[in-house]
Structure 1
Amino acid sequence: MLRELSARHRSWPLAAPFRISRGVKHSAEVVAVEIREGEHCGRGESVPYARYGETIESVLHQIQSVRQAIDDGLSREQLAELLPAGAARNALDCALWDLEAQLAGSSVWSVLRLAPPQVLTTALTVSLDTPERMGEAAARIASARLVKVKVDASAPAAQIEAVRRAAPAARLIVDPNESWNIDLLRDMQPALAALDVALVEQPLPAADDDALAGFESAVPICADESCHVAADLPRLQGRYQAVNIKLDKTGGLTEALALRAAARAGGFRIMVGCMICSSMGIAPAFLVARGAEFVDLDGPLWLEADHDGGVQSRHGALQPVAAGFWGQADGAIGDGAAASAR
């Protein structure tokens, strides 16, 4: 039976501005994909990211370029040969996984021989602001077990210290989003250690990775913008101790799982992250995040409103999406819970 592909831009307003060193977001701008085959519909979502040269228009164009192949029954393996890793391939790959599970009357996790998605401890993010306001934001989530702190190069020690005072028991991830240089990273070592930071994520621009060769950090350093797919790992050895796996970078669940396996084999610690997106973009990531040391999947928690049946959080305990929302055929009760109507 022939398939029918549709893709569209969707905007989700945020409940509060989300600031990082590169700018501020007021909405999550996503590309939503549906692939229909008969009565079944596989869904996926991605976030085009300007840092990687992507726009809504460019991602929609990439998706349209494979429309005929998708309609003719393109497989996920063939998709990886036609599109590079990135947002367009992510939305299509995840939609194909969803569709395949429905056609099989099963679930994605059963196909992968995994347990059903379970509650995860996610980081809750304190976005970039003045130290005073960051401390106030941290106080509102002080009961979270894991807090991510967005910083820049202006006053990072003060920013982190304000969060630490407000959330003394939380593990901290510090994310400069490539805004530091090697001298600032070196100068920050005493503060990172004193403030008991658990992980520093992509402190330097990806193009400056060589500066990390042989650098002995007091805190493990995680590659984000420097790590997209499994083929990136060899050049990260000796520079990073962890990698952040995001579906929008890997080009979907298929490569994300391959990257996780290769990273573990290479001795890297695992973080699973996300863009600011809806629960449709997060649901597949639950299958990558199982067993990860650091999970940062709070993207939908920034939205004013999310999909019905989307993720729910209580103090950073992230409940998976409702049964039947993504990756599970209606009525596939044996996969963990009775599936609800889509």
Structure 2
Amino acid sequence: MREITAEIQSWPIAGTFTISRGAKTEARVVVASVSDHGQTGYGECVPYARYGENEKDVMAAIKAQQPALADGMNREDLQRVMPRGAARNALDCALWDLETKLTGRPAWERAGLAAPRALTTAYTLSLAAPEEMHEAAKAEAHRPILKLKLGQGGDEDVARVEAVRAGAPNAALIVDANEGWKPEDVLPLAHEFARLGVSLIEQPVPAREDEVLRGIESPVPLCADESAHGLEGMRRLVGLYDFINVKLDKTGGLTEALSVIRCAKLRKLRVMVGCMVSTSLAMAPAMLAAQQADYVDLDGPLLLAQDREPSLRYEGSLVYPPESKLWG
């Protein structure tokens, strides 16, 4: 009989991770495991208060699926009985991992994908004063892609991007406002950032206000994050954004993430695959989705003081596919 366990884990962040909504010094994750016939599959998620999630509720939602899993519920059933979100992500990824162990076939093969390859990930710089972000950029100037967390828009954000560009003149830059800007700031800031060679602007305005983006001609492509979750609502994003940021915690696992990417490409939306600050166990399934992405933002373990073992292999900004002892 299949059995579920779930536990909360805390992983210290190297320093402080700051975005426009606040700061944290640890990554709090929930790890689900599903055991069957002497094998155990694992999946990791990050409950996110922005979406009304907390660790207690996520743990309860995972454990509540014990009777259904014992009765033979599979990943396809899981999509119907659980809403998308962190809890379903942990269970979905645990089931993928369990399937690979029971069948001896890697997850990429079961998903009908080509064998995964190493990818270049963006590296995130936390929101800080311009001079601090300049120093952080200098320290990471060797990385090909830097992602900057920005604030509430205006001159201060322009100063931050100018400081980072001066510190890392050759890096591609992605800026992430995390819904922090006013609608009227989008085009003026986009023109400033085009001047500074920014490649992508992520979620400039609150998701509930993003209809103001429809039809505007931004000189820098716009990417939906908080506005883009799963398959529902994908059609509405066309004409608002050029990219969507696919995160497994939002789609509720790898199963729907792969469907979202296929749907995005059919709708001519380009794809970033991103993450929350979490360990290699959360990044491993996302690496399969990221094989089809235009931008990869799977630097979560690089922001931690210590990753779990076994872990993904990072060489600078190059991240390698997971080995089976980690996941999949």
TM range (shorter): over 0.9
In the alignment, the residues of structure 2 paired with residue 163 and residue 321 of structure 1 have an alpha-carbon distance, to the nearest angstrom, of 32
In the alignment, the residues of structure 1 paired with residue 98 and residue 65 of structure 2 have an alpha-carbon distance, to the nearest angstrom, of 17
Which residues of 2 match residues 278-317 of structure 1 at below 5 A? 278-317=279-318
Tell me which amino acid in the other structure corresponds to 1:229: G
C-alpha displacement of 1:15: 1.3
Q: Secondary structure at the match of 2:232?
A: helix
Q: Secondary structure at the match of 2:285?
A: helix
C-alpha displacement of 1:189: 2.5
Indicate the residue corresponding to 2:135 in structure 1.
136
Which residues of 2 match residues 128-207 of structure 1 at below 5 A? 128-153=127-152, 155-207=156-208
Tell me which amino acid in the other structure corresponds to 1:115: A
In the alignment, the residues of structure 2 paired with residue 97 and residue 56 of structure 1 have an alpha-carbon distance, to the nearest angstrom, of 22
Give yes or no for the alignment of 1:322 onto 2:315. Answer: no
In the alignment, the residues of structure 2 paired with residue 260 and residue 8 of structure 1 have an alpha-carbon distance, to the nearest angstrom, of 30
Runs of 4+ residues over 6 Å off in structure 1: none
CA contact (8 A) 1:5 1:71 kept: no
In the alignment, the residues of structure 2 paired with residue 282 and residue 240 of structure 1 have an alpha-carbon distance, to the nearest angstrom, of 25
Q: Secondary structure at the match of 2:208?
A: helix
Bigger CA drift: 102-111 or 216-225?
102-111
CA contact (8 A) 2:191 2:218 kept: no
Indicate the residue corresponding to 2:52 in structure 1.
53
Tell me which amino acid in the other structure corresponds to 1:101: T
Give yes or no for the alignment of 1:256 onto 2:257. Answer: yes
Tell me which amino acid in the other structure corresponds to 1:150: K
Identity of aligned residues (%): 47
Indicate the residue corresponding to 1:266 in structure 2.
267
Indicate the residue corresponding to 1:225 in structure 2.
226
Indicate the residue corresponding to 1:106 in structure 2.
105
Bigger CA drift: 52-61 or 185-194?
185-194
In the alignment, the residues of structure 2 paired with residue 225 and residue 112 of structure 1 have an alpha-carbon distance, to the nearest angstrom, of 26
In the alignment, the residues of structure 2 paired with residue 113 and residue 16 of structure 1 have an alpha-carbon distance, to the nearest angstrom, of 40
CA contact (8 A) 1:127 1:149 kept: yes
C-alpha displacement of 1:321: 2.9
Q: Secondary structure at the match of 2:235?
A: helix
Q: Deviation digits for residues 66-98 of structure 1, max 9, x if unmatched?
A: 121122221111111111110000000000011
C-alpha displacement of 1:58: 1.1
In the alignment, the residues of structure 1 paired with residue 58 and residue 255 of structure 2 have an alpha-carbon distance, to the nearest angstrom, of 19
Q: Deviation digits for residues 276-321 of structure 1, max 9, x if unmatched?
A: 0010000000110013111000011111111212123233111233
CA contact (8 A) 2:191 2:220 kept: no
Bigger CA drift: 137-146 or 252-261?
137-146
TM-score (norm 1): 0.93
CA contact (8 A) 2:75 2:92 kept: yes
TM-score (norm 2): 0.97
Indicate the residue corresponding to 1:125 in structure 2.
124
Q: Secondary structure at the match of 1:277?
A: coil
In the alignment, the residues of structure 1 paired with residue 324 and residue 80 of structure 2 have an alpha-carbon distance, to the nearest angstrom, of 32
Q: Secondary structure at the match of 1:138?
A: helix
In the alignment, the residues of structure 2 paired with residue 216 and residue 118 of structure 1 have an alpha-carbon distance, to the nearest angstrom, of 35
In the alignment, the residues of structure 2 paired with residue 95 and residue 116 of structure 1 have an alpha-carbon distance, to the nearest angstrom, of 20
CA contact (8 A) 2:287 2:321 kept: yes
In the alignment, the residues of structure 2 paired with residue 44 and residue 162 of structure 1 have an alpha-carbon distance, to the nearest angstrom, of 38
Bigger CA drift: 266-275 or 288-297?
288-297
Gaps of 5+ in 2: none
CA contact (8 A) 1:222 1:243 kept: yes
Backbone CA RMSD of aligned residues: 1.1
In the alignment, the residues of structure 1 paired with residue 48 and residue 309 of structure 2 have an alpha-carbon distance, to the nearest angstrom, of 25
Q: Deviation digits for residues 203-238 of structure 1, max 9, x if unmatched?
A: 000000111111110100000000001222111111
In the alignment, the residues of structure 2 paired with residue 111 and residue 76 of structure 1 have an alpha-carbon distance, to the nearest angstrom, of 12
Indicate the residue corresponding to 1:16 in structure 2.
15
Gaps of 5+ in 1: 328-342
Tell me which amino acid in the other structure corresponds to 1:20: I
In the alignment, the residues of structure 2 paired with residue 91 and residue 142 of structure 1 have an alpha-carbon distance, to the nearest angstrom, of 34
CA contact (8 A) 1:310 1:320 kept: no
CA contact (8 A) 1:138 1:163 kept: yes
